[in-house]
């Protein structure tokens, strides 16, 4: 089985980023970016786990969970408080040489519809 764990940022990746800090996220309408639900459904059918990540403060957890629920965004885990700095994934290769980590950077507010895994 080709199990994957997909780490997705919220603002600018699955929901339109309006700029500013996490303290003003409640001031803007939630706009789900194009093809997000379609891509998440595709990955769910394939058995992939979805881990939502965000720089939003932990104190915004309830708002964020409600926002994702109302937007129809299903996920397996929500990791908060990551800040807005660079995120680096470090993982080992399997003994047969299989690479177990990679990163895909997209343009802000472009969405993930064109990503093929």
Q: What is the CA radius of gyration of the chain?
A: 15
In a domain, 11, yes or no: yes
Give the range of the structural domain holding residue 30, as residue numbers without chain letter.
1-112
Tokens in use for 14? 């699955």
Ramachandran sector of residue 58 (left: φ over 0; alpha: ψ -120 to 50; beta: rest) = alpha
In a domain, 117, yes or no: no
Beta-carbon count within 10 A of 13 CB = 22
CATH of the domain at 8: 3.40.50.1000
In a domain, 59, yes or no: yes
Tokens in use for 102? 């990679």
Contact between residue 16 and residue 34 where contact means Cβ atoms under 8 Å apart: no
Per-residue pLDDT of 46-95, as tens digits, reads 999 999 999 999 999 999 999 999 999 999 999 999 988 888 889 999 99
Tokens in use for 65? 């969970």
Total domains, the chain: 1
Mean pLDDT of 6-25: 82
């Amino acid at each position: 089985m080709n199990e994957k764990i997909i780490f997705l940022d919220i603002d600018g990746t699955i929901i339109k980023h309006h700029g500013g800090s996490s303290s003003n996220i409640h001031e803007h309408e939630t706009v789900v970016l194009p093809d997000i639900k379609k891509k998440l459904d595709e990955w769910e059918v394939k058995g992939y786990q979805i881990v939502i990540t965000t720089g939003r403060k932990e104190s915004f957890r309830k708002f964020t969970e409600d926002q994702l629920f109302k937007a129809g965004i299903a996920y397996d885990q929500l990791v908060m408080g990551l800040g807005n700095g660079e995120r680096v994934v470090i993982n080992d290769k399997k003994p047969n040489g299989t690479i177990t980590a990679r990163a895909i950077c997209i343009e802000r507010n472009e969405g993930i519809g064109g990503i093929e895994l």
